[in-house]
Amino acid sequence: MVEQDRLIQEFMELVRVDSETGNEREIADVLKAKFSALGLEAVEDNSQERTGHGAGNLFVTWKGDSGVSAPKLLFTCHMDTVVPGREIKPTLHGDGWITSDGSTILGSDDKAGLAALFEAIRVIQEQNIPHGQIQFVITAGEESGLLGARHLDPSYLDSELGFALDSNGEVGAIAVAAPSQAKIQMQIFGKSAHAGVNPEDGISAIQVASKAISAMKLGRIDNETTANIGKFAGGGPTNVVCDHVQLDAEARSIVQEKVERQVAAMREALETTAREYGAESEFRSEIIYPAFSFNENDPVVQLASRAISAAGLKPRLFPSGGGSDANIFNGLKVPTVNLAIGYEHIHTTQERIKAEDIVKAAGLVVAIVQESTKG
């Protein structure tokens, strides 16, 4: 069914197209042409007007065969990569691993998913496999904080069950839960004074910030919740009491209420400490994507599990600690899980993937389509 040589050649072609996040125009045009060659039309939304990225999100709706009863399926991947992702030189080694030359990432995150989708479409067409409606959504700006998905035009969406091809782990693993993330910015405004002549007339924003941080519970809050201060910025000459500090932070939890409680606790620690020292503070937070959580009884998980077994693989359910476009689609009321496709060491120059795992991923997409028609 799946032709490995054809699939790997296409994967190599895709990773050679420069597509660092924010610069997606070239890869978007390549993908449009590939869909067109398969008889499918890719429609681009205008999200780039809001994101400032090089392209919008691509939507492809493949009509179902007449008389086929199946849920409307969504498959999603992202077109962008992290840096360094220019002039990638992929190599298939004798042991089956594919890597870059070590000077760049490989880009299997997420071009392995893209290659798997294109191969699956070819297999379905060549084998005349009956199918219901299938929608492919290829996002821009995923590596910039899910920016493309967060600004996509939901009027294009017409799906009932979703599958993202964008998780690490062995093919067959299903990310059935992922956290919400709150982006947090805290400002502390103290009062400047000469540090040697009259420091008592000043209010050190650095001291206030340090005390506030020490009052916050950070790191691993519980088995579902984390929080972190990522940036502490402020200061100047040592002879001046620092009057301003900015803290950039985040909180995550698989349970939406827990991330909201963690954000509230961090706000309370900041505001209480600022009042104690006579400083002013500002606290801003934004939920940039919602949490999701499924179990083995949910239809989207049952379909994925049946397909994995039908493909000769072993289903394994796990919670993810990071967000993906799947979070956004769940927030848009399309139940979506994230499927592992086998890549390793992503976002580093040691990134790699086995050729056989891309083959398995393509076969899994075909299996999902087949199982969806069995009721």
Q: Count Cα neighbours of 306 within 13 Å in the Cβ-side half-sphere.
A: 15
Tell whether 10 and 116 lie within a shared domain: yes
> Of 289, 316, 337, at which residue does a domain stop?
289
Beta strands in 142-278 (DSSP E): 161-167, 173-178, 180-189, 219-222, 225-234, 244-253
Tell whether 160 and 306 lie within a shared domain: yes
Stretches where the chain sits below pLDDT 50 are: none
Tell whether 313 and 274 lie within a shared domain: no
pLDDT reported for residue 303: 98
Find all residues with CB under 8 Å of 318, minimum gap 6, and list them: 169, 173, 174, 175, 176
Kindly list the distances between the CA atom of residue 155 and the CA atoms of 9, 35, 315, 325, in Å, as whole numbers in the listed order.
Answer: 35, 21, 33, 17
Of all helices (H) and strands (E), which one includes residue 62? strand 58-62
| Helix axes 205-214 and 256-277, enclosed angle (nearest 10) | 140
Q: What DSSP string runs through 295-351?
A: -TTSHHHHHHHHHHHHTT---EEEE-SS--HHHHHHHTT--EEEEE---BSTTSTT-
Tell whether 195 and 116 lie within a shared domain: no
- Number of folded domains in the chain? 2
How far is it, in rounded angstroms, from Cα 141 to Cα 74? 19
Tell whether 134 and 192 lie within a shared domain: no
Tell whether 84 and 15 lie within a shared domain: yes
> Of 289, 312, 341, at which residue does a domain stop?
289
Report CA dihedral (178, 160, 346, 95) to the nearest 10 degrees: 130
Residues assigned a catalytic role: 80, 142
Find all residues with CB under 8 Å of 244, minimum gap 6, and list them: 187, 188, 189, 190, 205, 234
How far is it, in rounded angstroms, from Cα 130 to Cα 65? 6
CATH number at residue 135: 3.40.630.10
CATH number at residue 272: 3.30.70.360
Tell whether 158 and 204 lie within a shared domain: no
Tell whether 58 and 199 lie within a shared domain: no
> Of 260, 289, 318, at which residue does a domain stop?
289
Tell whether 260 and 322 lie within a shared domain: no
pLDDT reported for residue 316: 98
How far is it, in rounded angstroms, from Cα 350 to Cα 308? 28
Backbone angles phi, psi at 19, to 5 degrees: -155, 40
* pTM for this prediction: 0.91
Tell whether 163 and 277 lie within a shared domain: no
Domain ranges, residue 273: 183-289
Cα dihedral 303, 304, 305, 311 sign = positive
Q: Contact at 8 Å (CB) between 54 and 24?
A: yes
What is the DSSP pairing of strand 73-78 with strand 134-139? parallel
What is the DSSP pairing of strand 292-293 with strand 219-222? unpaired
Tell whether 173 and 318 lie within a shared domain: yes
pLDDT reported for residue 253: 96
Give the closest residue to 252 by CA, choosing from 221, 230, 294, 216.
Answer: 221
Q: What is the pLDDT of residues 32-73, one digit of tens each?
A: 999 999 999 999 999 999 999 999 999 999 999 999 999 999
Tell whether 277 and 206 lie within a shared domain: yes
